[in-house]
Structure 1
Amino acid sequence: MNFKKVAVFITLFSLWLTNYFSGSEQELVAFFLIFSVGILHGSNDLAIMSKLRSVSGLRRLIIVLGSYILVVLIAGAFFYWLPELALAGFILFSAYHFGEQHWESLETLQPKGFRGLFFAGYGLLILFLLFYTNMGATQEIISSLSGQIIPESWFVYGLLSSLVLTVIAVFYLLVKKQIDYGRVAFECFLLLVFGIVFRYADLIWAFAIYFIYWHSIPSIFGQLKYLYGEVSLPSFKLYLKSSSIIWAISVGSMLMLFYIFKDNQEIIMPLFFAFLGAITFAHSFIITRMYGQKKPNE
C-alpha cells in the first residue's frame, strides 16, 4: 500500500487525538516522536557520507566525522552569536529539505535552479502555514531565540508569497508534463489536511505530525533504498544498528540540556528548535548530495 495513503489516515487520527490530549500531553507525545523517529532519521548521516566519499579506513572516519561535527558546531555557534541569521538560515534550509524530500520523484527536474526554487517554495508554504495557524506560539519562540518580535503581517506575506510561488511552479510542471492532474489534486488535498491539523493542534504537536509522518518516515525509506537497496525489516535492522550511536548521543545531549535548564521552562522550546536547527544544516547538505548521486543499489 502507498505509504502516503497510510500517512493521511494516521495524520487524521492524530488530529482526532487532540480532543483527548491536553496541551502538555500533546507536547509530551510530540517530543517522544521527535526524539525517537525524528532524530533517528538524521542519525545515519555518517553512513551516507561514507558511501558518498571514496575513502576508507581511519582516514575516512576522520574526514566524515570531522566534517559532520564541524558543520554542527558552526551552526550551533551561529545560533548563539547570530541568532537572527541562524534562524533565517534554519527556516530556509528546512524548507528546501522538506520540499526536496516531498518531491523526491522530481530530483532530476531541470533546470536545476527552478528545481531548487520549487523545493524551497513548497517547504516555505508548509512552514508558513504552520506559523500562520500558530502565530502566537511561533512569535514567542522566535522572540526567545532572537530577541525579535515578528509582526503578524510577516506570516501573512510569507504564506501568500510561498503559495504564489508554489502555484506558479506547479502550473509550469503541468505544462511540461512533469506531473499529472491526479498528483496536483492529491497535493491540494494534503495542504487542506495540513491546514486543518495545524489549525487545531498545538504548535509542537502540529509540527511533530508533519515532521514524523510526512518527512522523517519517508526519508528513512529513501535512505534504506540508497544504503541497502530495499525497504525491508532486515535493512531497517541494519539502519538501526548503524545509527544507534549517533542517535543515543543526540538524544542524550538534548536531554542533558533539558535537565540543565529544567528550572527555566521558557528556554526549553527555543533550545529544542535551536538544537534541531544545528543538526538540520549538516543533515540537509548530506541528503541533498544523496539525492544528487545515482543510487548505487538501484
Structure 2
Amino acid sequence: MDAYHADAATADSVLASPEDAPAVVKKVARSAATLSVERLAALVTAMGGSISDEDHLVVVLQRAVEIAHEAIDGADSCGITIVSGGRTFTAVHTDARTLQVDAHQYEIGEGPCLHAATTGETVRVDVDSADARWPQFIAAAKEEGVRSFLAAPLYTPSERFGSLNIYGRRPNAFTKQDEAAVDALTAALARAIADYARFRHARDLADGLREALESRAPIEQAKGMLMAIHRIDADAAFQMLAENSQRSNRKLRVVAKELLAAVSGVDAAAADETAKEPS
C-alpha cells in the first residue's frame, strides 16, 4: 500500500466518529509536513455526507467553525462570511464577538475577512502590523478586544464565495501551522460544497443560505428530539435527518417539521417565528 492510500485508510479509521475531528485537526496542524487534506475531506463527509440543500450547508458550515474553534489554539471567536451574489453576511458564528467584529468590517468595507473572501488569499495578521493597512477596521476590532486575525477563503472550482474567520484576543495568536490547518479545512469544505454549488448561481446560493438561516429552529428542535429518543449525539441526529431528506428528496427543514408534528405536535412554523424574535 503506497503512502497516499495508507493515509486515506487511516482517515477512515481516525474519523469513524465526528467527535474526533478537533483532535485530528490539531494533530495535522502540529505537523505541516504531513498535512492531509484527505483526512479533513473525510471529516466533512462524516458531518453528513453529500450536501443536498441550503439547510444541510448551514449545518456543515456551523460544524466547521466549531471544529476550528476547538482545534486552533488562540481561536477565541470564529465565523464564516459569505460574499456572493452581491450580498455580504455572516452565515454562522461561535459567539457575539464574531458578529460585532464582522459587522464593523462590512460597514467599513475593509478587513482581513473581506480580503480573504475576495482575493482568495489567506490572511494571518496582528492588529499592530495591520493598522496601516485597514486603519478604521483595526480601530474597531481593538475596541472589541481582538488582537489577531486568521482568515482563509472559501471557494469552489468556479468561484470564491466567502471566508472562514478566526479572531484571537491575544497578539500573534496564530502560527504557520494554524494557517496550514485552516487552509486544509477550507479545502475540504470546498470539496464537500462543490457539487452542490455547481448547480446554483451566486445570488441563488446567497439567498438560499439566508433563507436557511431563518429556518433553523425546526431542524435544531428535531435534532434534540432524536438525541433524546435514540440517546445519540448531535452529529448522529443530524445524519438521520440528512439521510431521510436525501431518500425522500425533500428539504431538510420539511423533514424536520414533519418529525416534530408527528412526535409532539409542535407547531414548527410558530417555532420559526419565535426564533426570529429578538431575545
TM bracket (short chain): 0.3 to 0.5
Greater per-residue helix proportion = 1
Q: Scaled by the length of structure 1, what TM-score is found?
A: 0.33
Q: Say which structure, 1 or 2, has more relative contact order (CA 8 Å, 6+ apart).
A: 1
Greater per-residue strand proportion = 2
